[in-house]
Amino acid sequence: MSGKKLISVVLCVLLLMSSVFCVSAEMPAAEIAVEVSALDVEVKVTTEANSGRMIAMIKNKKNTVWVGIEAAETYEVDENGKSVYTFSMRMQPNRETDIYTVSVGGNVALTEKDFQFANVSQLVAFYNELALADASDVYALITSEKNVISYDFDAYKGLTPEIRALADAEVAEIAEIDDVTADNIAEKNNIFCAAMDDIMARAQIADANTVTEIWLKLVTAKNAEDNTAVYDTKFLEKSNAETVNENCVAFGFASLSKEEIQKALDEAQLLAVAKEQGYSALKSAFQYYLKKGVLVLDNTAQSAYDEVCDKKRENAFFEQLKLLDNDTVENLVENVPEAAEKAEAEEEDEEESSSGGGGSSGGGGGGGSLGGNRKNPGTTLMDGDAQNTVVKKEEAVVSFSDLDDVAWAKTAITALAEKGILVGKGDGKFYPNDTVTREEFVKIIVTAFSKIDAKATASFEDVAENRWSYPYIATANKMGLVTGVSETAFNPMGTITREDMAVIAHRAMLLCGIEDGTYTMDFDDANSVSGYAAEAVNQLAGRKIINGMGDGTFAPKGIVTRAQAAKVVYELLVLNGGVK
């Protein structure tokens, strides 16, 4: 070693060790992440420090061997505004297998992180043994002391035996780890770790022990190449994620192929909708998965469903199907003939009752039957006179004195107020910039498009039956327009977010029989829209039912004002042909 290099090393060591004697409160803290790939060790240090020199050193736990030491003054800034210093070091091939320690100091408080390093010859020997192992031997080998691979196997060890056996079968088939040598160990190690990541992602989706939050992140992952979704999660929402998870793990996997995972997710989503949402949501899911080929009807069920469609009796059919026990896809298929029979009997009873006269076919107060006219299901959201729900602008007689600063919503507010869908506050003002709560928006959407279903019930613990909003929430919940913030809570007085308003409005649009189109969300903050709301925002923005904030953003987590709510409901009525 040259004299200059020796002096440099000594200075680095002195600077590193000086951190020990500094008062910790005076030195920024540091977090260390270590990634080992064969001989290469990458150390990332995250800290608030943004000046001075940082020193990193690798030593063995006994503190008898210094493997390497480096200094750095440059860093990158992460998304949280912290400094990230990166050190790349290389271990000697003949280093013994042991626990080593990374120590950092200098411009931060002395911090240490342990990691395992495997001697190359031992690592090569283990990979070659693993490559020859049968699936039945993989678990024992990976959990043995022979395993010197630097990979976190904790999640693998926690898999249920059934799913782990499927994972072991795939590990045994990783052909790329054949013929490992000291020359290609780094490449082979990277291949194995990437393969394990892929296997574990699918195994954790299928496994009952996976935490719901981790599971949800895995199933909503996107492909790195084109940012498209890895799996179809059309009917997966934050409110039903736990139920979909439970249905998925009960699937009975024959393999961990992506096709098998997708089939399990499809069936799990369908059953979750059947259990937790209204008949209109069940209708959408049933038809979607029938078309996709996931839901396969036998001859009896297919014949019954064809007759339902021929007689325009879909809504009555799905109302009845929703009431039956649909805990498995097989049960759902078996229930189709019974639901069809009950729907026909119900319609015959209604026709007998209406033949006596005296009934009105009108929507009553600007409403109708959400989900369509039974005589023409799926084509309109409202019955009878519902096409007159929104009056001509020149016919409106309701006026408010405080609409000048929301001219963009004046027509919507005035028209909806004329039919009693919206009201002021009794002083000649509408208060367009006041915020809207979840229960208030539900009332607006139900009043605009429906009439209260007196038979509807809701089991939210925070919505008592004597609460003014209960009949609106129960009606909307039964029809699949709304769900709670959890299985037991609705949060009626919480302010509704712009993305949640979009989700409800989109469901109403689908109930109108208006199908989704092909649109591309063009907001600067599109990535901030929650996954469960992305399609709703995309569809409504594409049809100009809902707009941005005027600065290129959508503000998905922003509050909804009375003027914004009026505009969205009005434009949705316009789209459905409700303006004369």
Q: What DSSP assignment string belongs to 167-232?
A: HHHHHTT-GGGSS--TTTHHHHHHHHHHHHHHHHHHHHHH-TTS-HHHHHHHHT-B-TTT--BSS-
3-state secondary structure of 156: helix
Domains of the chain, residue spans: 3-117, 120-210, 296-359, 384-575
Q: Mind listing the pLDDT tens digit of every residue in the chain (580 residues)?
A: 455 444 444 445 545 555 544 444 578 999 999 988 878 899 999 999 999 999 999 988 776 677 888 899 999 999 889 999 999 998 887 788 888 999 999 999 999 999 888 888 888 999 999 999 999 999 999 999 889 888 889 999 999 999 999 999 999 998 777 888 988 888 888 899 999 999 999 999 999 888 888 999 999 999 888 889 999 998 887 778 888 999 999 999 999 999 999 999 999 999 998 887 777 778 889 999 999 999 999 999 999 999 999 988 888 898 889 888 999 999 999 999 999 998 888 766 555 544 443 332 222 233 333 333 333 232 223 332 333 344 333 344 567 899 999 999 998 998 898 888 888 877 888 999 999 999 999 999 998 887 788 888 888 999 999 899 999 999 998 888 898 888 889 999 999 999 999 999 999 888 877 788 888 788 889 889 998 899 999 999 988 889 888 888 999 999 999 999 999 999 888 887 664 3
Reading phi first (left if > 0) and then psi (alpha if -120 to 50, else beta), residue 544 is in left
Query: Whole-angstrom Cα distance, residue 436 to residue 493?
Result: 9
Query: Whole-angstrom Cα distance, residue 555 to residue 406?
Result: 18
> Pairing mode, if any, of strands 54-60 and 66-72?
antiparallel
| Run of H or E residues at 17 | helix 3-18
Query: Whole-angstrom Cα distance, residue 15 to residue 55?
Result: 7
Rounded to the nearest angstrom, the gap between the alpha carbon of residue 8 and the centroid of all alpha carbons in its chain is: 52
> Within 10 A of 520 (CB to CB), how many other CB atoms are there?
8
**Residue-level pLDDT at 348:** 65
Reading phi first (left if > 0) and then psi (alpha if -120 to 50, else beta), residue 480 is in left
Token output for 562: 């009375």
pLDDT digits (tens, 9 = 90+) for 227-285: 899 999 988 877 788 889 999 999 999 999 999 999 999 999 999 988 877 777 788 89
Q: Would you say 514 and 575 are in contact if contact means Cβ atoms under 8 Å apart?
A: yes
Query: Whole-angstrom Cα distance, residue 377 to residue 315?
Result: 7
Residues 6+ apart with CB under 8 A from 79: none
**Residue-level pLDDT at 11:** 47
**What does 430-449 look like in DSSP terms, one character per residue?**
--TTSB-BHHHHHHHHHHHH
**Residue-level pLDDT at 350:** 52
Longest pairwise C-alpha distance within the chain: 110
Output the CA torsion sign for 290, 291, 293, 299. Answer: positive
Within 13 A of 506's CA, how many CA atoms are on the CB side?
A: 22
Q: Would you say 438 and 490 are in contact if contact means Cβ atoms under 8 Å apart?
A: yes
Q: What are φ and ψ of residue 498, in 5° steps?
A: -65, -35
Counts for the chain of helices (H) and strands (E), in that order: 19, 10
Q: What are φ and ψ of residue 376, in 5° steps?
A: -150, 60
> Within 10 A of 39 (CB to CB), how many other CB atoms are there?
19
Residue 449 sits at the vertex; the CA angle it makes with 280 and 479, to the nearest 5 degrees, is: 20
**Topology adopted by domain 3-117:** Immunoglobulin-like (2.60.40)
189-194 long-range contacts (CB < 8 A, ≥24 apart) are 189/37, 189/38, 189/123, 189/127, 189/149, 189/150, 190/37, 192/127, 192/149, 192/151, 193/37, 193/149, 193/151
Residue 220 sits at the vertex; the CA angle it makes with 150 and 533, to the nearest 5 degrees, is: 150
3-state secondary structure of 100: strand
Among candidate residues 233, 235, 277, 319, the one with its CA nearest the CA of residue 483: 277
Rounded to the nearest angstrom, the gap between the alpha carbon of residue 484 and the centroid of all alpha carbons in its chain is: 16
10 Å CB burial of residue 568 (0-12, 13-18, 19+) is buried
Q: Which amino acid is at 330?
A: E
